[in-house]
Amino acid sequence: MGALANNFYARISSNYYETHHERQSDAVVNGTVWVNNLTNLPCNESNGYCDNCKEFVITGYPLPTGGEL
């Protein structure tokens, strides 16, 4: 089960980095946020989560670091 979970996390993490990019935060000085490449918006409760971010939320895995979503 551990290897399966590791493979799953590796897949959704890889997909995340392929579908999101970092940009400067409008709210935090010298901060960055990760935004969806298609919508150019951060994935969160108010903007809605993309399918990849929903996998993180549903499984309980933390979203990758580098910015706050």
Residue 35 backbone phi and psi in degrees, to 5: -125, 150
Least Cα distance to 16 among 68, 55, 58, 60 occurs for: 55
pLDDT given for residue 66 in this prediction:
57
Q: pLDDT of the chain along its 69 residues, tens only?
A: 577 678 889 999 999 999 999 998 888 888 888 899 999 999 888 899 999 999 999 999 888 765 443
Helix axis angle for 2-19 and 51-59, nearest 10°, is 150
pTM score = 0.76
Domain boundaries, the chain: 2-59
DSSP three-state, residue 63: coil
